[in-house]
Amino acid sequence: MSLRTRLAVFSGAPGLRAPNRTRNRVRGVCLALAVVALWPTSHGALAPAWVPALSPFVATAVVLATRRLPAPVWLGLIVGAAAILRRQVFCRWVCPAGLCLDGASWCGRRWGRRTPRFPLLGRSIVGLTLGGAFLGYPFLLWLDPLARFTGLFALGNRGAGLDLSAAGFLLLLLLSLLWPKVWCASLCPLGVLQDVLHSSARTLRRVAAASAHLPTVLTVRPWLSLRLGRSYPSRRVLLAVAAGAGCAAVARSSYQDKARPLRPPGALEELTFRGVCTRCGNCVRACPSGIVAQDLGPNGWASLLTPVLHFRKDYCREDCVKCTEVCPSGALTRVSREGKTSMRLGLPRVDMSVCRLGEDRECSVCRSRCPYNVIRYVFSETDYTLTPHLDREKCTGCGACEAACPTAPRKAIVVLPT
């Protein structure tokens, strides 16, 4: 779809959409439902997951990257199927992010701003992401507008990481205010993927219809007659897919496992996790213990704003799986309360130079606070000291020992990635 056509779709050309009043009422109801689902009072419920899970861009990339169908992505696949039947139906009737951006664009036009000519970079974003997804690393998935809209509700909640998530959607609003419709018409990967699905399905129908009436030797002519510059997949998309696959291959070959931080329960393999995570902040807001935070850079730019665990003040409760319930992309796979006890988040390491027992002082806090009873004290006849020992087979790395350790500023027992 050309830029002019996309602008016509989003600006209300006759025949391309229903009357403004009806459409805007439906979109307003959808926005209200999304706000209710994402409002902070719904922490821990399943509702925050369904808003970002509506994206077919996220669903397609997740299925390609993981070769599985996690529960949340079914919503995105349904929206994708609807896009095959009718172009941009989700953007024009449902998308809560789109309605907010349309409002910013309307304000920009009232202030005299105009839509500039802008390259359709959304095609490249979709191609790079899906190309990387083939090798398990959809590295631009975080550009999904529904994920950024979800991050808006993290503003002022639990630290700078969530504020950065909220800043993503605020930047989109500013972009639409300064250059109306640029995001929706030229950059949005969610809208572009709907165009790809609709145009590809229409092309297949035309080829199938032509093949039914032409001799076998001529069935390729409908394909040869396509003008790739105006149909999907275009040359740009195909080149971007190849480039995305190449980037993912380089990332996989250069990735080192030792860089893996502590992740919440159910996390995928590290490199795939970094690509599939949409940085929406749902898991951080849902954690009742406050131990899930967003990575602010110590693990590299590719891990920026992904969830990591910190056990300084609390631990991962035995019966809590809320972070896995609100994840919209399956980066954190669903975990049952019973199955969580067999998962390992990390493994504690004891520093006897800091431990009170190493100073010949009495302390049994880590053993008494361990919910799995995996810590025991062993007497060393050489040093005449007690040393904490862990049952590695039973320890889940929940962090209760680290949170309870009374030494400061350094903890004598720290959970490290395995």
Is the per-residue pLDDT at 142 higher than 90?
Answer: yes
Amino acid at 56: P
Q: pLDDT: is 6 or 105 the higher one?
A: 105
Query: How far is residue 24's CA from residue 48's CA, in Å, rounded to a whole number?
Result: 23
Residues 369-399 pLDDT 10s: 999 999 999 887 777 778 899 998 899 999 9
DSSP string, 259-293: G-----TTB--HHHHHHH-----HHHHH-TT--EE
Q: For position 35, what pLDDT does the model report?
A: 92
Phi, psi of 348, rounded to the nearest 5 degrees = -70, 145
Q: For position 167, what pLDDT does the model report?
A: 85
pLDDT category of residue 354 using cuts at 50, 70 and 90: very high
Q: For position 268, what pLDDT does the model report?
A: 94
Residues 265-285 pLDDT 10s: 999 999 999 999 999 989 988
Is the per-residue pLDDT at 229 higher than 60?
Answer: no
Q: For position 223, what pLDDT does the model report?
A: 47
Query: How far is residue 106's CA from residue 63's CA, in Å, rounded to a whole number?
Result: 36
Q: For position 5, what pLDDT does the model report?
A: 56
Query: How far is residue 379's CA from residue 271's CA, in Å, rounded to a whole number?
Result: 42
Domain extents in the chain: 3-202+230-254, 344-418
pLDDT category of residue 214 using cuts at 50, 70 and 90: low
Q: Prior bond to 233 cis, omega within 30?
A: yes
Q: For position 400, what pLDDT does the model report?
A: 96
Q: pLDDT: is 251 or 64 the higher one?
A: 64
Residues 398 and 371: beta-carbon distance below 8 Å? yes
Q: For position 384, what pLDDT does the model report?
A: 75
Cα–Cα nearest to 329, from 194, 158, 147: 147
Is the per-residue pLDDT at 252 higher than 90?
Answer: no
Q: For position 367, what pLDDT does the model report?
A: 93
Amino acid at 318: E
Residues 27 and 93: beta-carbon distance below 8 Å? yes
Q: What percentage of the chain exceeds 70 in pLDDT?
A: 85
Q: For position 259, what pLDDT does the model report?
A: 63
Residues 70 and 62: beta-carbon distance below 8 Å? yes
Amino acid at 418: T
Residues 176-208 pLDDT 10s: 999 999 999 999 999 999 998 888 888 777 777
Residues 149-168 pLDDT 10s: 998 887 766 655 567 778 88
Q: Prior bond to 56 cis, omega within 30?
A: no
Q: For position 13, what pLDDT does the model report?
A: 43
DSSP 183: I
Residues 133 and 65: beta-carbon distance below 8 Å? yes
Q: For position 418, what pLDDT does the model report?
A: 81
Q: Which residue has the tokens 């990332």?
A: 251
Query: How far is residue 73's CA from residue 65's CA, in Å, rounded to a whole number?
Result: 12
**In whole numbers, what is the pLDDT of the chain averaged over residues?**
85
Residues 291-321 pLDDT 10s: 999 998 888 888 999 999 999 999 999 989 9
H/E stretch holding 58 reads helix 56-66
Q: pLDDT: is 418 or 294 the higher one?
A: 294
Residues 32-77 pLDDT 10s: 999 988 887 654 466 788 999 999 999 999 999 999 988 889 999 9
Q: Give the tokens for residue 186.
A: 């030229």
Q: For position 11, what pLDDT does the model report?
A: 52
Is domain 344-418 given the CATH code 3.40.50.720 in the classification? no
Q: What percentage of the chain exceeds 90 in pLDDT?
A: 53
Q: What is the mean pLDDT of residues 86-93?
A: 90
Q: pLDDT: is 3 or 395 the higher one?
A: 395
Is the per-residue pLDDT at 355 higher than 60?
Answer: yes
